[in-house]
Structure 1
Amino acid sequence: MLTTQATADEAPRPASWCARQGGHPAAYRAYYDNGARLTPLGAVRELCHFQSAQDHTQLVLPTDTLAADAPTLASLAYLRKPALPTHPVGNPSSAYCAKLGGTTRFGDRASDTGGWIRQGDPVDRDHLHTMCVFADASAIDAWGLTYHTAGVIRGADLEKKFRAPVPPAAAEPGGNQAE
C-alpha cells in the first residue's frame, strides 16, 4: 500500500481501531429495564467487546470512545483511577459512576436502569451491559471501570488501547492528585 501525506494523517475508523486492539465491534441496542421486562429503545451504538480467554470476563465500550483522537471523560476515569466511594449506597458500579460525574440510569429514579445488548444476542439480563455514560458522550462498562480502579482487569486491560494519550493528572496544592 502506498502511503501519502493525505492517507498518513487519516484517522482509523472506530471499528477498525477496536479490532486492531483485539476487540470485536458490533451494533448494540439500548434497553430500558423496568424490573419486569426489557424494553428496546431507539438508540443503536457501535460498541467494542473484549472478553478474557482466561476467566471469560467481559468489558464493552463505544468504539468512538476507544478510538477518539483526544482524551474522553471515560478514558480519563479508566486511566486515572479516582478513588471508589467509601460507603456506596446501592449498586457499587452505579455509585462509582455517579461519583465521577457519569450515569448508569435511564431515568430520574435509582430503579430506572437499563443497558446495551448486542444485536442478535438473546434479550435478557445475562446479555445486558451497563455502561457509565459521561457528559462528553463517551462511555465505558460500569463494572469494568469499577473493578479496574481496584486493580482487577475485566475483559481486557485498556491502559494501552485508547488511541488518544491521556496526560497525567495535575497535582493539587499539598501534593494530592486531582480526581
Structure 2
Amino acid sequence: MRRRMLISATATAIAVTTTLLTTTTAGAVEQSKADKDYCTKQGGMYDTFVPLAEGQEMGGSEGLCVFWDTAHKTKISVTAEALNADKPTLAELAYNHPPKPNPRPVGVAMGNPGDAYCYQLGGTLNFNGPVGYWVIKGQEHSPKFENTTDLCVFADMSAMDSWGLLYHAGGVVRGQDLTHKWRASRRCEPEVTEDSDATEPPVVDPGVEPPVIGPGGEMPYYRDEDVAVTEDDE
C-alpha cells in the first residue's frame, strides 16, 4: 500500500514539475518574441548575442536590439527586454537622465572613458575590452565591429553599451536616438487627441514643483517640502 502511495506521489510531483517547466518555458519564449517584435517596430535589429572571454565561448545568451546610423556607421545596443519593459529600468534612466561624466575617472577603467562612465553609473562591465565581448550567435569565429558589442549591466539586469551611454551624456547620438523608443517612456507621454495641441507642454499641478535633479545629476526626485499639504491631507 505504501509503495503504491509513494509511486503515486512521485508521479504527481513529476507531472506538476513538468507542467511548471513547460509553462515557464512557454512564457519565456512568448516574452522573447514580444521583445523582438517591439525592437523591430522601433527600427532596431534584433539578434541573440553570446559572450566570449579571451576567445573562449561562454555560457548564456542575451537578446539585444541594435540601432544603426548607417550614414555615420555608428550603433547603439540595448537589451530588448529593457527596451520593451513596461516600467522604467536603470538602463532607461541612465540614458534619458544621464549624469555628467566625471572628467577625472579613477580606478581600473581610467584608460577607457566608456568603461569609466559605466562604473560611474553604478554598472558592471560584462565581458568588455581585452577580456571579451558579446557577439552575434553563430558568428563567434568572425568577430568584428558590426557583430560585437560591450555591455554595461545594471543591478536590475538591464544593460546597454557603455560608449552609447557616454556619447549620449555628451549630447551625441550614436546609432539612433532612443529617448522615445523605450516602452516605459512612451507610456508616460501625454495622450494627444484631436482637441489637444501636441506642442503644448503638459499641465503641471500648481501645488507641486517640477522634479529636482540631484547635485550629481541623479534621477529626478521630489523633496518633501515641494509637496503642498492641504486640509484634506492633514
The TM-score normalised by the length of structure 1 is 0.79
Matches of 1:111 and 1:21, distance apart in 2: 29
CA-CA distance at 1:178 after TM superposition: 2.8
SS at match of 1:164: helix
User: Is the 8 Å Cα contact of residues 98 and 217 (structure 2) preserved in structure 1?
Assistant: no
Give the helix-richer structure, 1 or 2.
2
RMSD over equivalenced CA pairs, Å? 2.6
Matches of 1:104 and 1:90, distance apart in 2: 14
Equivalent residue letter for 1:159: T
Matches of 1:93 and 1:22, distance apart in 2: 25
Equivalent residue letter for 2:143: D
Partner of 1:15: 36
Instruction: From 78, 81, 103, give the equivalent of 2:95.
Output: 78
Partner of 1:87: 104
User: Is the 8 Å Cα contact of residues 171 and 178 (structure 1) preserved in structure 2?
Assistant: no
Instruction: From 68, 72, 76, give the equivalent of 1:59.
Output: 76
Partner of 1:157: 177
Give the strand-richer structure, 1 or 2.
1
Specify whether residues 48 and 105 from structure 1 end up closer, same or farther in structure 2 by C-alpha distance, changes over 3 A only. closer
Q: Larger radius of gyration, structure 1 or 2?
A: 2
Q: How far does the alpha carbon of each residue in 1:98-142 deviate from its partner, in whole angstroms, 9 at most, with x for none?
A: 011001144xxx987322101233543534311110010000111
Equivalent residue letter for 1:142: S
Instruction: From 105, 115, 129, give the equivalent of 2:133.
Output: 115
User: Is the 8 Å Cα contact of residues 100 and 217 (structure 2) preserved in structure 1?
Assistant: no
User: Is the 8 Å Cα contact of residues 149 and 161 (structure 2) preserved in structure 1?
Assistant: yes
> Does 1:42 pair with 2:59?
yes
Equivalent residue letter for 2:113: P
Q: How far does the alpha carbon of each residue in 1:34-64 deviate from its partner, in whole angstroms, 9 at most, with x for none?
A: xxxx211111111111111211101111100
Partner of 2:218: 178
> Does 1:25 pair with 2:42?
no
Matches of 2:74 and 2:129, distance apart in 1: 25
User: Is the 8 Å Cα contact of residues 69 and 164 (structure 1) preserved in structure 2?
Assistant: yes
* Contiguous gaps of at least 5 residues in structure 2: 1-30, 189-209, 220-234
Matches of 1:117 and 1:170, distance apart in 2: 39
Count of residues in Structure 1 that have an aligned counterpart in Structure 2: 160
* Contiguous gaps of at least 5 residues in structure 1: 1-10
Partner of 1:6: none
Higher relative contact order (CA 8 A, sep 6+): 1
SS at match of 1:64: helix
